[in-house]
C-alpha cells in the first residue's frame, strides 16, 4: 500500500502536532513516491483572520528515503492568532501539477494560561428545582405566578399555553440547602465541581429567563445561602460553576418587566427606562427580538455599552460580583450567540476577579470552525473560552455505543485533538446528557424511537425491562469512556441513578431519592473516585490502542502510571490483545489471561499497568 504524500497527524509530515501557539515555526514535509518525478513543491497559506492574507512558502527537495522524495518547508506564524488554511502544490519537469488540501491549522495566543482544575476532575450538573428540597415552599409573592407540586414524584407540566409554549411555571422546590445536604453523596461519586443551571430570580422553573441577576431566586434560598453553599464546597476542596445567561433575559424581569411585576419601569413600559437600549424593538413595545422567537425570552443587545458595564465591566458587575461571592467559574449559555468582544470581556473580568476562574462556553460544534452570524468565532484562540461543552464528543460516543464503529469515534476525536489548542481539549466539558438532551438511558434503550408520538405518550412511557437492562449495559460502557477521556467528565444529575425521560421537561424530572439504580450509581462512583485519584486520568496523554468494530481501547499515561480503558459495545464477546506487561483490573469484570483480555458483550473495564518491583 502506498503511503500518503501528506498526513497532518504524522510527525514525519508536520511538526508540531495539531494546533500551535503563536510564534511557532511549523515544519511541513511532503513525501511523494520518487517514481512520480516531482521536481519542486511549495506551500500556500491563507491567514483567514488577517484579511485572508496569503503567503507562499518554497519547499525545496531535501533528498530521498526508501524511494520517497522529501520536500520540506517552514511556515512562520509570527504574532498571528487565528485559523490558517494551507495547501500544497507539487510540480514535475513535464509540467504535471498535483494539489493537496486545504488543511486547517489553529494558531492560538501563546500567552494564554488556563487553570487546570476544571478539566482534571468530575463535574456534576444540577437542575436546581429538581435535585432536592428541604421543605415544600410557598410561592406567594414570588415572581411569575408559580405553582408548586406537593408530591415530589409528580410529572412536570408539559402542556402548552394558548401561545403554544410550555410556561414552565410549575416548581418542585429544590433549593440550595438541599444541595448542601447532598454534598456527601456528590463526594461519594468523586465529584469536584458542581455546575448549577441558572439560580438567579426568574419566573420559569428552568430560570433561563433571568428576572434579577442580583438576587438568588427566593425559592432556592437567599444570597447568604449561596455563600454558605460555596463555603461548604470549598471546605471540601470542591468548586462551583454558575450558568451565565447573558444573551437574553426574561419577559418577566426587572429589565423588561413585561407583566409589570417590578415597581421600576422596564424597557417595554417606558422608552425612558434605563434598560430601553438593552432590547431591540421592531415596534415598541409589542414587537421585539427574542431568543429563537420565544416571546418570554427577549434578546438583549450585547453591543450596548450600559449592558456590557452591567454584565462584566463595572466592579459590581454580574460576572465579578458572583465570583467574589464564592463562585469559581461561569458556563456561558449559547456562547456562539454572544459577540466575541462580549465573551472576551467576560473572560477578562473573570480572571481579574479570581485568577483561577474558568469560563466554559456552550457550543454544539467544533469550536474552532464555528461560524455564527457570518463570523468565524474566536472561542478557543485565547482570551475567550477556556473550554467548551463537548457535544461532538457526546455525538461520537453515542454513535459508537449504538453500533457505528470505534473507528469513527477515534477519527472524530482526533479531528478535535488536532484542531483544538491543548488547553481546550483538556478543559472540555464532556457529557453523555444535559438538560437539553434526552436522558441518555432512554436514548440508548429506545434508540430514539417514539419521539414522533404525542407528549402524553412520552410522558407516560417507561422502558421495558429488556430495554432498560440493554441501556444500562451500554451506559456503563459509555461512562467508562467518559471518565477516562481527557476533559472533565460531567454527569447530568440522575443519569447515575438510572433516570429515564425524553426531551424537556421529561429529562428534568425530580431526582429519585431512595429509588436509585444502585448498580449504576456504584459504577459511576467507582469511575469517579478512580478519576479523582489517578494522575493519568486527570492530566495524562492519550494514546489509541485499538479501534476495530465494536472494540475501543485507549490508554492515558502520566509519568510511570498507565491506565487502560477497554470497551466492547458489540453484541458478542471480544478478545483483546493488551500491550505488553502486567495489568490489574481497577473497575469492571473483564477476564485477564496473560496478555489478553476477554470482554463480554456491552461491557467495559479499566486497568492499570503494574510496575515491576526492583
Bigger pLDDT: 469 vs 595:
469
Q: Catalytic pick from 129, 201, 362, 418? A: 362
Q: Catalytic pick from 109, 129, 333, 386? A: 333
Q: Are residues 237 and 257 in the same domain?
A: no
The average pLDDT across 162-168 equals 79
The CA distance from 543 to 480, in Å, is 16
Identify the CATH number of the domain in which residue 88 sits.
2.60.40.10
Q: Are residues 344 and 258 in the same domain?
A: no
pLDDT of residue 531: 98
Q: 362 an active-site residue?
A: yes
Q: Are residues 138 and 213 in the same domain?
A: yes
In a domain, 446, yes or no: no
pLDDT tens-digit profile of 6-35? Answer: 999 999 999 999 999 999 999 999 999 999
Residue 612 has pLDDT above 70, yes or no: no
Label residue 95 by pLDDT band (50, 70, 90).
confident
Q: Are residues 137 and 225 in the same domain?
A: yes
For residue 36, what are the domain limits?
14-108
Helix axes 518-533, 465-484, angle to 10 degrees: 0
Residue 376 has pLDDT above 50, yes or no: yes
pLDDT of residue 613: 52
Residue 556 has pLDDT above 50, yes or no: yes
Residue 567 has pLDDT above 90, yes or no: yes
Identify the CATH number of the domain in which residue 603 sits.
2.60.40.1180
In a domain, 489, yes or no: no
Residue 2 has pLDDT above 80, yes or no: no
Q: Are residues 263 and 309 in the same domain?
A: no
Question: Where is the domain boundary, 79, 108, 137?
Answer: 108
Q: Are residues 204 and 285 in the same domain?
A: no
Q: Are residues 73 and 86 in the same domain?
A: yes
Domain tally for the chain?
Answer: 5
Q: Which residues make beta-bridge pairs with 611? A: none
Q: Are residues 265 and 316 in the same domain?
A: no
User: Using an 8 Å Cβ cutoff, are 345 and 361 in contact?
Assistant: no
pLDDT of residue 614: 46
Placement of cell 422502558 in the chain: 463
21 CB-contact burial (10 Å; exposed 0-12 / middle 13-18 / buried 19+) = middle
pLDDT of residue 339: 98
Question: Where is the domain boundary, 73, 108, 143?
Answer: 108
Q: Are residues 46 and 138 in the same domain?
A: no
Q: 356 an active-site residue?
A: no
Contacts with 245 (C-beta within 8 Å, 6 or more apart), sequence order: 198, 208, 209, 210, 333
The C-alpha cell of 89 is what? 502544490
Whole-prediction pTM: 0.97
Q: Cα 595 to chain center, whole Å? A: 36
pLDDT tens-digit profile of 498-550? Answer: 999 999 999 999 999 999 999 999 999 999 999 999 999 999 999 999 999 99
User: Using an 8 Å Cβ cutoff, are 189 and 199 in contact?
Assistant: no
Amino acid at each position: 500500500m502506498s503511503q500518503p504524500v501528506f498526513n497532518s497527524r504524522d510527525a514525519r509530515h508536520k511538526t508540531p502536532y495539531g494546533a500551535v501557539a503563536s510564534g511557532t515555526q511549523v515544519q511541513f514535509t511532503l513525501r511523494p513516491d520518487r517514481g512520480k518525478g516531482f521536481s519542486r513543491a511549495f506551500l500556500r497559506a491563507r491567514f483567514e483572520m488577517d484579511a485572508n492574507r496569503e503567503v507562499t512558502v518554497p519547499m525545496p527537495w531535501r533528498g530521498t528515503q526508501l524511494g520517497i522524495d522529501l520536500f520540506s518547508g517552514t511556515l512562520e506564524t509570527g504574532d498571528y492568532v487565528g485559523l490558517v488554511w494551507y495547501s500544497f502544490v507539487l510540480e514535475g519537469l513535464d509540467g504535471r501539477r498535483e494539489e493537496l488540501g486545504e488543511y486547517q491549522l489553529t494558531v492560538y495566543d501563546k500567552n494564554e494560561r488556563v487553570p487546570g482544575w476544571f478539566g482534571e476532575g468530575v463535574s456534576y450538573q444540577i437542575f436546581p428545582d429538581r435535585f432536592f428540597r428541604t421543605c415544600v415552599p410557598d410561592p406567594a409573592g414570588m415572581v411569575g405566578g408559580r405553582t408548586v407540586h406537593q408530591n415530589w414524584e409528580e410529572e412536570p407540566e408539559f402542556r402548552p399555553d394558548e401561545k403554544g409554549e410550555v410556561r414552565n411555571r410549575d416548581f418542585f422546590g429544590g433549593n440550595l440547602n438541599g444541595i448542601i445536604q447532598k454534598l456527601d453523596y456528590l463526594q461519594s461519586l468523586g465529584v469536584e465541581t458542581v455546575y448549577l443551571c441558572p439560580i438567579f430570580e426568574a419566573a420559569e422553573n428552568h430560570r433561563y429567563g433571568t428576572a434579577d441577576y442580583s438576587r438568588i431566586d427566593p425559592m432556592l434560598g437567599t444570597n447568604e445561602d449561596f455563600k454558605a453553599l460555596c463555603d461548604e464546597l470549598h471546605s471540601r476542596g470542591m468548586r462551583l460553576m454558575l450558568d451565565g445567561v447573558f444573551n437574553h433575559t426574561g419577559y418577566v424581569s426587572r429589565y423588561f418587566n413585561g407583566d409589570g411585576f417590578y415597581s421600576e419601569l422596564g424597557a417595554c413600559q417606558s422608552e425612558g427606562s434605563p434598560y430601553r437600549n438593552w432590547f431591540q424593538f421592531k415596534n415598541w413595545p409589542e414587537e421585539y427580538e427574542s431568543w429563537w422567537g420565544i416571546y418570554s425570552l427577549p434578546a438583549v443587545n450585547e453591543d450596548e455599552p450600559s449592558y456590557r458595564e452591567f454584565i462584566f465591566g463595572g466592579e459590581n458587575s454580574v460576572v465579578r460580583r458572583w465570583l467574589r461571592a464564592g463562585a469559581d467559574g461561569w458556563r456561558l449559555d449559547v456562547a456562539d450567540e454572544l459577540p466575541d468582544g462580549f465573551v472576551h470581556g467576560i473572560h477578562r473580568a473573570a480572571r481579574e476577579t479570581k485568577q483561577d476562574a474558568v469560563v466554559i462556553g456552550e457550543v454544539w460544534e467544533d469550536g474552532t470552525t464555528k461560524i455564527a452570524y457570518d463570523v468565524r468565532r474566536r472561542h478557543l484562540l485565547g482570551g475567550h473560552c477556556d473550554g467548551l461543552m463537548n457535544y461532538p464528543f457526546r455525538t461520537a460516543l453515542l454513535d459508537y455505543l449504538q453500533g457505528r464503529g470505534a473507528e469513527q469515534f477515534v477519527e472524530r476525536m482526533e479531528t478535535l485533538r488536532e484542531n483544538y489548542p491543548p488547553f481546550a481539549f483538556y478543559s472540555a466539558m464532556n457529557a453523555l446528557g444535559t438538560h437539553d438532551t434526552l436522558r441518555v438511558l432512554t436514548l440508548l434503550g429506545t434508540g430514539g424511537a417514539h419521539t414522533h408520538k404525542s407528549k402524553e405518550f412520552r410522558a407516560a412511557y417507561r422502558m421495558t425491562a429488556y430495554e432498560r437492562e440493554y441501556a444500562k449495559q451500554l451506559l456503563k460502557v459509555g461512562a467508562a469512556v467518559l471518565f477516562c477521556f481527557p476533559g472533565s467528565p460531567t454527569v447530568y444529575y440522575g443519569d447515575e441513578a438510572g433516570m429515564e425521560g425524553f426531551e424537556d421537561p421529561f429529562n428534568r424530572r425530580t431526582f429519585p431519592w431512595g429509588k436509585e439504580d444502585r448498580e449504576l450509581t456504584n459504577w459511576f462512583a467507582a469511575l469517579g473516585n478512580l478519576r479523582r485519584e489517578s494522575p493519568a486520568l486527570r492530566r495524562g496523554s492519550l494514546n489509541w490502542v485499538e479501534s476495530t468494530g465494536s472494540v475501543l481501547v485507549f490508554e492515558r499515561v502520566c509519568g510511570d502510571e498507565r491506565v487502560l480503558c477497554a470497551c466492547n459495545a458489540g453484541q458478542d464477546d471480544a478478545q483483546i490483545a493488551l500491550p505488553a506487561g502486567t495489568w490489574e483490573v481497577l473497575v469492571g469484570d473483564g477476564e485477564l489471561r496473560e496478555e489478553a483480555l476477554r470482554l463480554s458483550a456491552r461491557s467495559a473495564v479499566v486497568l492499570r499497568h503494574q510496575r515491576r518491583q526492583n
